[in-house]
């Protein structure tokens, strides 16, 4: 009897990791940009903090709603495809055997072996075999809307808190430089961490996130300074 060996892969983390990284990145960047825009417009500390807190709450809710709707649409598509496969398995079982065998032949198996594999897999779990090998749906990569929504909202809030804490603790005279500098540092660390967990090179990821973060914050601060002068 063969011993079972459960090997873990990074793709198993791709769903929640993508949502968490996206949420935290947006939380840091959007809140820091909002704080910098209001501060550059000569807003008071209380105005800066109120704007930041409002941005945190609105952003977290927006991320949760957007992620839920997006992933739920994917889940609905998967559900419809699985239902279609159930119908085809009931009405054309032999055709489904042939279809699955052809998939394995295309992947390199001899026709006789492909037919044997298809027959055995469909005897064990016909729908599961077609979901995995025909539709590309597996339990690991299956859409989970609620999980994605909570991960996005929670990570956004965690990210957004960071520039808010810096804004609350820094003297007004140095607030813009402190928030901008620490936020860029947070973004670089987040990019490196995400790359590390995903098995990608850390330095390019950190540079990429930092560059776009600096650009976004610079433009927002510039707009704030412009309107603070004009209005």
pLDDT tier at 3, thresholds 50, 70, 90: very low
Work out the angle at residue 135's Cα, subtended by the Cα atoms of residues 130 and 138, and round it to the nearest 5 degrees: 80
Average pLDDT of the residues in 206-228: 89
Residue 95 CA to residue 154 CA, distance in Å, equals: 46
The confidence score (pLDDT) of residue 140 equals: 55
Residue 12, pLDDT > 80, answer no
Residue 35 CA to residue 70 CA, distance in Å, equals: 29
Average pLDDT of the residues in 64-87: 81
The confidence score (pLDDT) of residue 183 equals: 94
Average pLDDT of the residues in 145-156: 84
Stretch among 66-75, 121-130, 133-142, 186-195 having the lowest mean pLDDT: 133-142
The confidence score (pLDDT) of residue 214 equals: 92
Torsion sign across C-alpha atoms 172, 178, 183, 186: negative
Residue 1, pLDDT > 80, answer no
Average pLDDT of the residues in 16-42: 84
Residue 231, pLDDT > 60, answer no
Which tops the pLDDT comparison, 47 or 142? 47
pLDDT tier at 110, thresholds 50, 70, 90: confident
pLDDT tier at 78, thresholds 50, 70, 90: confident
Stretch among 6-15, 52-61, 89-98, 169-178 having the lowest mean pLDDT: 6-15
What is the pTM (predicted TM-score) of this model? 0.68
The confidence score (pLDDT) of residue 5 equals: 45
Average pLDDT of the residues in 9-18: 54
């Amino acid at each position: 009897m063969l011993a079972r060996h459960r090997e873990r892969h990074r793709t198993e983390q791709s769903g929640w990791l993508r949502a968490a990284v996206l949420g935290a990145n947006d939380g840091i960047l959007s809140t820091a940009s909002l704080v910098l825009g209001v501060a550059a417009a000569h807003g008071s500390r209380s105005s800066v903090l109120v704007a930041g807190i409002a941005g945190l709450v609105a952003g977290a809710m927006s991320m949760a709603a957007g992620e839920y709707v997006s992933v739920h649409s994917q889940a609905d598509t998967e559900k419809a495809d699985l239902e279609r496969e159930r119908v085809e398995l009931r009405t054309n079982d032999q055709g489904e055997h042939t279809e699955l065998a052809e998939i394995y032949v295309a992947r390199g198996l001899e026709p006789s072996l492909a037919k044997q594999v298809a027959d055995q897999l469909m005897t064990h779990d016909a729908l599961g075999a077609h979901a995995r090998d025909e539709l590309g749906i597996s339990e690991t990569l299956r859409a989970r809307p609620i999980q994605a929504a909570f991960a996005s909202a929670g990570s956004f809030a965690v990210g957004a808190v960071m520039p808010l804490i810096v804004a609350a603790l820094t003297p007004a005279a140095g607030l813009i430089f402190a928030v901008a500098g620490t936020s860029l540092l947070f973004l670089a660390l987040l990019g490196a961490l995400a790359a590390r967990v995903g098995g990608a090179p850390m330095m390019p990821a950190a540079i990429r996130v930092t560059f776009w973060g600096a650009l976004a914050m610079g433009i927002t601060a510039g707009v704030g300074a412009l309107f603070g002068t004009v209005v």
